[in-house]
Copies of this chain bind each other. A is one copy, B any other.
């Protein structure tokens, strides 16, 4: 038996605004940041549970404070009891009756809870000596479902249905796990797309990413100026040819009527999707846009606050591509629920990544999904941007546009605190 002895946070901020990498129509000058947390225990196994919340600068201190404050609840608790019953850990944090007022289940508090639950799953995976994707894929369906919270979901997905989905996923699972180990999982590149880049730089990177690096899709940021968008899309389509997929991302810049007008100028570019056309809270607005811009699919989800919003986007058929994020919701359990919801409603999930640690973390869920939930990679791919990977103990490895399967135990979030030290934010 061991207990939790400390919950330690780090406010890392990388000065990415200096290069305009990461710039889009809403985020002019992000400083990619991580509110990073380590959970330490009294066990003699050298294992630290690691988690993080990705932010883009200011307010990262507030997330650290929220993690510290919620982490107090964990201090002194028996580790084994929590790791054996992650549903209990979820209830303890997500359903804290006083903390819930600050959401419920959204924003800073929910992301902070996500970092802590993620760190507990990291510890669970490390103790089992498995990468998280494999731990999840190999869990017994009933055991995995017992950790999930179906509150507010029963009109869309019941535990029995979730168990049935996972039981269906048992067939051929071992072959898919082998496939992941051998070939990895498809990625796509956002590297060419930042709004701060010149046309020449964009074209050059678009060619490099597709012709040299082997990505089968790229994505451009749009929404600042329509003429610029149309010119850049033409240049990009010429650069990559007709067989590589091209997606665009507006980062929530439009109102609903404006989104429809603007996107309807994009029909000539054979777009894979239009991402975040408007507020991530606007289910009805997205449904309206999706109908109006058909056949271009709508994609959204990286800032979707919780499973209750995903449920409604699915019920309202408000998107074609569902995007999930590794650090927006309350950790692995809520992300597994998102994948189960997507499977129930027959939607394609293409995870958001690119921020600090997001590539490292989110690929575990995509691989788990392929092994045990949707059982396919058809039309599915994980975003990739080459940012801050050097600060991770086990950075993702991409080969010919494919995310290679993580083999190290854990969830991918562990940072090399020593090398990142100089980016520790000082008050």
Which residue numbers of A lie inside 8 Å of B, CB to CB? 26-31, 55-59, 61-63, 65-66, 69-70, 96-111, 151-155, 252, 255-258, 278-285, 288, 303, 305-306, 308-309, 311-312, 315-316
Contacts and interface: CB of A to CB of B under 8 A. Distances in A.
B98 A59 contact: yes
Nearest to A61: B69
Contact of A59 (B30, B99, B153, B288): B99
Contact of A108 (B56, B98, B107): B107
B155 A285 contact: yes
Contacts of A312: 281-285
6 contacts: A27-B97, A58-B69, A102-B108, A104-B279, A104-B280, A105-B281
Contacts of A29: 97-98
A65 B58 CA distance: 12
A62 B59 contact: no
A104 B304 CA distance: 9
A26 to B, nearest CB: 6
Nearest to A254: B152
A62 B57 contact: no
A302 to B, nearest CB: 10
Contacts of A305: 106-107, 281
A306 B283 CA distance: 14
A111 B58 CA distance: 16
Given A278-B152, A279-B152, A285-B152, A59 B106 contact: no
Contact of A284 (B104, B306, B315): B315
A52 to B, nearest CB: 14
Given A99-B58, A308-B282, A303 B104 contact: yes
Given A26-B97, A30-B101, 4 more contacts: A31-B98, A55-B98, A55-B102, A153-B255
A59 B110 contact: no
Contact of A63 (B56, B102, B104, B280): B102
Contact of A101 (B56, B258, B281, B306): B56
Contact of A258 (B105, B154, B256): B154
A62 B65 CA distance: 6
A284 B316 contact: yes
Given A106-B305, A108-B62, A108-B109, A152 B57 contact: no
A104 B281 CA distance: 9
Contacts of A107: 102-103, 106-110, 305
Most buried by B among A96, A256, A285: A285
B282 A57 contact: no
A65 to B, nearest CB: 5
Nearest to A17: B98
A309 B281 contact: yes
A283 B152 CA distance: 12
Contacts of A31: 98
Contacts of A61: 65, 69
